[in-house]
């Protein structure tokens, strides 16, 4: 699995100009698919569809993963987000998101719940060495995009078995702090890999793990690859929140590391 470094957004827009490629991305919205599964949705030859897949992969919108003999194709939304943010001012982006959500709620009225697993993959290129990127990663409290209530804070214990949680201040002096355990560190390889197992705030009997790998790219850059998988009753709304949230998390990590 890999993503080329794109200095301009024009290749992304060119890749999206083709309706077949846009349909491929639509098919990948709900999760990864094998190349054969994608080809089955089109009347054209497998060779033609594979050519479209290669174009999407070349600009980073699509990533590959080998699972046995199969090659899974994953949607990587980070380049799409970067391309859109270039043209949308922050206020305009929020207004557009509000209108889209309003229209979506009007059409759906209620959010269905499915037992399908979360299977999200995203990656980002950080213009810092792997050791510097790792040091920034360990300072989650300083850069993780805020998604908790007022009066709560993020707490991360950077060690094997350490906790990642959102905690609230005690109600009275000497009292115990409340909060929500997002997960516990089950893999800790300094400078290379971090894996956290837990529900990440999802309600109900949800079991999940997210794994973040740092891959050096030369002496001054690091490719950060994130995989999040979970099983249990997860709503479409929560699944979409995680897709968008991980994109924001990787972008925030990159900004913090590059400014350090």
Are 83 and 149 in the same domain?
no
For 132-138, the CB contacts below 8 A with 24+ separation are 132/257, 132/260, 133/214, 133/222, 133/224, 133/253, 133/257, 134/190, 134/191, 134/192, 134/214, 135/260, 136/253, 136/256, 136/257, 136/260, 137/194, 137/212, 137/214, 137/253, 137/257
State pTM to two decimals.
0.59
Are 161 and 246 in the same domain?
yes
Are 92 and 142 in the same domain?
no
Are 76 and 140 in the same domain?
no
Domain that holds residue 84: 1-110
Are 120 and 73 in the same domain?
no
Are 131 and 193 in the same domain?
yes
Are 99 and 119 in the same domain?
no
Q: Which of 110, 131, 160 is the last residue of a domain?
A: 110
3-state helix, strand, coil in the chain (%, to 5): 40, 30, 35
Tell me the CA end-to-end span of the chain in Å, nearest whole number.
28
Q: Which of 74, 95, 110 is the last residue of a domain?
A: 110
Burial of 158 (0-12, 13-18, 19+ CB in 10 A): middle
pLDDT of residue 101: 57
CATH number of the domain at 71, please. Answer: 1.10.10.10
Q: Which of 80, 110, 140 is the last residue of a domain?
A: 110
Are 82 and 124 in the same domain?
no
3-state secondary structure at position 222: strand
Q: Is 154 left (phi over 0), alpha (psi -120 to 50) or beta?
A: beta
Are 227 and 120 in the same domain?
yes
Spell out the residues 6+ positions from residue 54 whose beta carbon is closer than 8 angstroms to its own: none
Are 53 and 176 in the same domain?
no
- The answer to whether the CB of 185 falls within 8 A of the CB of 157 is yes
Domain count, the chain: 2
CATH number of the domain at 170, please. Answer: 3.30.530.20
- Closest to 28 in 3D by CA, of 124, 100, 120: 120
pLDDT of residue 217: 93
H/E segment holding residue 196: strand 193-197
Digitized pLDDT (tens) for each residue of the chain, 260 residues in all: 444 444 456 788 788 888 898 889 888 887 888 888 899 999 888 889 989 999 988 888 888 887 777 888 888 877 776 666 555 444 445 445 544 555 555 555 444 444 447 889 999 999 999 999 999 999 999 999 998 888 899 999 999 999 999 998 765 555 566 789 999 999 999 999 999 999 998 888 888 999 999 999 999 999 999 999 888 888 888 888 898 999 999 999 999 999 98
Are 202 and 132 in the same domain?
yes
Are 78 and 140 in the same domain?
no
């Amino acid at each position: 699995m890999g993503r080329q470094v794109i200095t301009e957004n024009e290749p992304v827009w060119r890749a999206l100009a083709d309706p077949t490629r846009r349909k491929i991305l639509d098919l990948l919205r709900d999760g990864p698919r094998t190349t054969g599964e994608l080809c089955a949705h089109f009347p054209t030859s497998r060779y033609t569809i594979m050519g479209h897949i290669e174009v999407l992969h070349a600009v980073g919108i699509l990533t590959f993963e080998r699972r046995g003999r199969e090659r899974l194709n994953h949607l990587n939304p980070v380049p799409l987000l970067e391309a859109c943010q270039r043209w949308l001012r922050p206020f305009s982006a929020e207004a557009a998101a509000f209108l889209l959500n309003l229209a979506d709620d009007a059409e759906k009225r209620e959010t269905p719940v499915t037992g399908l697993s979360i299977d999200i993959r995203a990656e980002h290129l950080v213009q810092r060495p792997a050791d510097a990127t790792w040091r920034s990663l360990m300072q989650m409290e300083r850069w993780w995009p805020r998604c908790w209530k007022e009066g709560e804070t993020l707490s991360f214990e950077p060690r094997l078995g350490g906790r990642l949680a959102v905690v609230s201040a005690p109600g009275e002096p000497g009292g115990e702090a409340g909060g929500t355990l997002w997960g516990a560190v089950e893999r800790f390889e300094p400078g290379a890999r971090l894996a956290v197992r837990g529900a990440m705030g999802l309600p109900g009997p949800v079991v999940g793990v997210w794994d973040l790998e740092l891959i050096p790219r030369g002496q001054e850059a690091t490719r950060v690859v994130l995989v999040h998988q979970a099983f249990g009753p997860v709503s479409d709304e929560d699944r979409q929140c995680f897709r968008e949230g991980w994109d924001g998390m990787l972008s925030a990590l990159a900004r913090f590391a590059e400014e350090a």
